[in-house]
Structure 1
Amino acid sequence: MFSNIIYILAIILLIVSLVKDKKKTKMALKKAWKSFENMLPQFITIIVLIGIILVILDAEAISKLIGEGSGSIGVLISSIIGSITLIPAFIAFPLAKALMENGAGTGQIAAFISTLMMVGIVTIPLELKYWGKKATILRNSLAFIFSLVVAIVMGVVL
């Protein structure tokens, strides 16, 4: 229901934009399409990887590795995987949902998502170049610690 409201609102606002300035609206739609084309290969790759992971790791294996019963080891595994993975948020959340439906624990998924968004092992060379060694290490360390706190809180609350 909510999705339908968002779609209807987007269509109405697109029509309003077209009425106001056709040229700018067409230019914006072209830019949006280019952006979509640039994201599509990543999106398809991640969907294929999710499918492969879910075929290789059945619900029992996922539950054993990062399920509720895996405890702090599962949180640590999830946070390490999240720290070294570079996935856009629009792909990470559906992946998290699929993992949870297949037996992953709430705290473990919270650790995965929060480290994925905040810790950047892959981006360390870029951060070192612009921020320096001290700031990069401090930011990533604090983000990792905060992610563990988030995982613990989410595990307890939910």
Structure 2
Amino acid sequence: MDTLVMYMLAGAGILVSWFVNKQKTMMALKKAWKAFEGILPQFITVLFLVAVVLAVLDTETVSQLLGKGSGFIGVFIASVVGAITLIPGFVAFPAAAALLQNGAGATQMAAFISSLMMVGIVTLPMEIQYFGKRTAIFRNVFAWLFSFIVAYFVGWVVSV
């Protein structure tokens, strides 16, 4: 229902924009389409990988590894995977939603998303180049530790 409302609001906004200035609206729609074309290959790739993982791992296995009952080990696994994964947020959130629907826990997915967004193991060499070794490692370690705080906070909020 919320999605339908958002689509209707977006459509109404486009219509208002169209009546105000057709040229700017067309230019904005063309830019949006170009951005969509740029995002689509990454989005499809990650959705394909999530689909393969969910096809290989049944809901019981996902629940065992990343479910509510997996405890700290599940949170740790999710945060490590998030820290070493380099995917954009607009792809990570649907992937996490799919995992949640297949038995993953909210705390574990919060650890995955927060470490994905805040920790950059793959980008660490570039970060070292720009900020220096000490600062880059310091930032990543504290961001990773903070991702656990975020995860447990989200788990607490969801359980209340």
TM-score, normalised to structure 2, is: 0.89
**1:11-50 correspondence runs (5 A):** 11-50=11-50
Q: Once the 2 structures are TM-superposed, how far is the Cα of residue 83 of structure 1 from its aligned partner? A: 0.4
Aligned length in residues: 158
Percent of matched pairs sharing the same residue: 55
Residues 11, 68 of structure 1: alpha-carbon distance in 2 compared, 3 angstrom cutoff: closer
Q: Once the 2 structures are TM-superposed, how far is the Cα of residue 122 of structure 1 from its aligned partner? A: 1.6
Query: What secondary structure does 1:145 align onto?
Result: helix
Please, which runs of 5 or more residues in structure 1 have no aligned partner? Answer: none
Query: What secondary structure does 2:121 align onto?
Result: coil
Q: Give, in whole Å, the separation in 1 of the partners of 2:21 and 2:89.
A: 32
Please, which runs of 5 or more residues in structure 2 have no aligned partner? Answer: none
Which letter does structure 1 place at the counterpart of 2:33? W
Matched, 1:141 2:141: yes
Q: Give, in whole Å, the separation in 2 of the partners of 1:128 and 1:104.
A: 34
Matched, 1:62 2:58: no
Q: Give the match for residue 113 of structure 1.
A: 113
Q: Give, in whole Å, the separation in 2 of the partners of 1:76 and 1:37.
A: 35
Q: Deviations over 1:14-44 (max 9, x none)?
A: 1222222222222111111111011111111
Runs of 4+ residues deviating >6 angstroms = none
